[in-house]
Amino acid sequence: MIGQTVSHYRILSKIGSGGMGEVYVGEDLVLGRKVALKFLLGEQTTDPESLERFLREARIASALNHPNICTIHEFGDHEGRPFLVLELLEGRTLNDEIGERPLPLGRLLDLAIQVADALEAAHAKGFVHRDIKPANIYVTDRGEAKVLDFGLAKLGFNRRGHGLDSRALTTPIPVAEHRLTGPGTALGTVAFMSPEQARGEDLDGRTDLFSFGVVLYEMATGRRAFAGPTTAVLFDQILNRTPPPATRFNPEMPGALEHIINKAIEKDRDFRYASAAELRADLKRLKRETDSTRMSVAANPAPASAPAHFAARRGLTGVAAKPAVWMSAVALVVALVAAGAYYLVGSGGRQIETMAVLPFVNASGNPDTDYLTDGITEALINSLSGLQGVRVSARSLAFKYKGKDIDPLKAGRELNVKAVITGRVTARGNVLVIQSDVMDVANGSQLWGGQYNRPMADILAVQDEIAGEIFDKLRLRLTGEDKARATKRYTQNAEAYQLYLKGRFYWNQGTIGGYKQSIEYFEQAIAKDPKYALAY
């Protein structure tokens, strides 16, 4: 077709072809602009279903005037071949952008916010896309996300009810990985289908949010959330399996992003995000916090000589600064989550008087620091257990979930608590990143969350400041005794504290060898601080 004139468009070159159509670059001879022309494939022109889908794409996309939705200028027919005239986009699909590797966080958030905004616009008009996947999201050279292909979209739902039907494949068909997103086929949507879409139930906008959550997972990890050799395996995963934690494949990913993804891919849509606007708000909040943290760290770099100098001026002569940092990290997390717990108990909303602290994740990937994350978890359990009106699951129950890929909400239901506390600790050079979240087991919502990035050398100095900010931000009315309990230190000797944590780590292994090592560490801690009662 190259060189031909179709209506008032001259065909210049071919962009590509897919399961439903061929796309060409064309020149608008009237307006003097370049456009994209999408022609329905010849064998599809006599298929009523293909024609219906093609026309549906034109009608729906043309009704959505949004910067993150590909604009359709015109629908026409050339010698019995229907065609669409679309804005010409220069760039590549999100599928190519990901390329089996995690996207940088800033890039991920920018694109995700734009896609969420496009979905909100479509849902506001009553349209549900039903085929959100990386191949249907285009990333322009200017960094703009464009949602494509509304050929499977339906009109007829509103925010208060359902009204869309969907058919799902039920025959196990062997498929190659590259065909899981084949354009225009039901097979292509399987890996990104929502559970309700796979079951053939009525749909609303939340089905797009599930699919978008699966896309976010791939953006964050470079891997599919659901993958398998047949559609039957894929359906089983979508309906019954939880994907591995995204942080397993991308330890640098913020815990807040993992929470967003997990909430988007909730199998029960009543526990999922209620709207694209709600999801977009969480993404924007995370972007704001990330940008703020990046500027804070850039503006306050720690000098190379800071650790030893800092230890000296804090009176920790003869003690390495790094143990002091770890001790303060534990105390800091205790302060953060204890503040969150008080917020839950003391707020005007539903009372949260039972909670569980799941083992914190060592996101640094260094097994030598496992004792630190275990120590933080134990410290939280002990600290929160001392607060009036709060029942905390025992350590022996909580640590059954250590190292397991389990949904925190499922763990909370199994432990019969109303809230679950999760967290992760990452050491990035001289910066310590602490993330903790409190989740409502009843509905999967985030009740409280905090993330702090601080240069390790400064963390002792800012510990009280951060705790004060948390107390003030949540408008807590704590007595002096409450604050002291949340941040209590049982020794001022940082090295003794580190030795104590190592002793606890080996003690909890429950083996003869572990007991012997723990005794050695406890004795070393006592030698550093003879008044250290916990070590005794």
Looking at per-residue pLDDT, the higher value among 390 and 255 belongs to 255
- Checking if the pLDDT of 386 tops 70, the result is no
- Checking if the pLDDT of 115 tops 90, the result is yes
Are the C-beta atoms of 420 and 315 separated by less than 8 Å? no
pLDDT at 318: 37
- pLDDT tens-digit readout, 305-356: 444 333 333 333 333 444 445 555 555 555 555 555 555 554 444 556 788 9
CA distance 131 to 452: 37
Looking at per-residue pLDDT, the higher value among 16 and 190 belongs to 190
Least confident stretch, 47-61, 126-140, 492-506: 47-61
Place of tokens 């009036």: 388
- Give the side-chain half-sphere CA count within 13 A for 285: 13
- Checking if the pLDDT of 504 tops 80, the result is yes
pLDDT at 304: 44
pLDDT at 341: 55
Helix (H), strand (E) at residue 352: none
Number of Cβ within a 10 Å radius of residue 364: 20
Q: Residue 315 corresponds to which amino acid?
A: G
Looking at per-residue pLDDT, the higher value among 443 and 145 belongs to 145
> What is the share, in percent, of the chain residues with pLDDT greater than 70?
69
Helix (H), strand (E) at residue 14: strand 9-17
| Of residues 128, 131, 129, the one with CA closest to residue 185 | 131
Out of 131, 204, 208, 440, pick the active-site residue. Answer: 131
| Mean pLDDT, rounded, of the chain | 75
- pLDDT tens-digit readout, 450-466: 666 665 444 333 344 43
472 catalytic per annotation? no
- Checking if the pLDDT of 72 tops 50, the result is yes
- Checking if the pLDDT of 191 tops 50, the result is yes
pLDDT at 489: 67
Residue 288 CB contacts under 8 Å (≥ 6 apart), including other chains: none
CA distance readout (Å), 184 to 44, 89, 178: 12, 20, 14
Total number of residues shown for the chain = 536
User: Tokens representing 379?
Assistant: 């410290």
Q: What is the mean pLDDT of residues 277-281?
A: 94
Q: Cα 74 to chain center, whole Å? A: 38
pLDDT at 396: 84
pLDDT at 466: 39
- pLDDT tens-digit readout, 287-319: 988 876 666 555 655 444 444 333 333 333 333
pLDDT at 488: 66
Q: What is the mean pLDDT of residues 84-102?
A: 89
pLDDT at 522: 94
Q: What is the mean pLDDT of residues 86-93?
A: 88
pLDDT at 484: 64
- Checking if the pLDDT of 188 tops 50, the result is no
pLDDT at 486: 57
- pLDDT tens-digit readout, 42-61: 666 667 777 777 777 677 76
CA distance 378 to 307: 27
212 band by pLDDT with thresholds 50, 70 and 90: very high
Number of Cβ within a 10 Å radius of residue 414: 15
User: Tokens representing 145?
Assistant: 């996300």
Looking at per-residue pLDDT, the higher value among 61 and 159 belongs to 61
pLDDT at 431: 64
pLDDT at 395: 85
- pLDDT tens-digit readout, 228-241: 888 888 999 999 88
DSSP secondary structure of 105-144: HHHHHHHHHHHHHHHHHHHHTTEE-S--SGGGEEEETTS-
- Checking if the pLDDT of 278 tops 90, the result is yes
Q: What is the mean pLDDT of residues 115-131?
A: 90
Residue 356's beta-bridge partner residues?
A: 420
CA distance 296 to 290: 10
pLDDT at 294: 62
CA distance 407 to 221: 18
| Of residues 37, 61, 40, the one with CA closest to residue 49 | 40
- Checking if the pLDDT of 20 tops 70, the result is no
> What is the share, in percent, of the chain residues with pLDDT greater than 90?
24
User: Tokens representing 150?
Assistant: 């509304």
524 band by pLDDT with thresholds 50, 70 and 90: very high
pLDDT at 223: 93
DSSP secondary structure of 28-91: ETTTTEEEEEEEEPGGGTT-HHHHHHHHHHHHHHHH---TTB--EEEEEEETTEEEEEEE---E
pLDDT at 292: 67
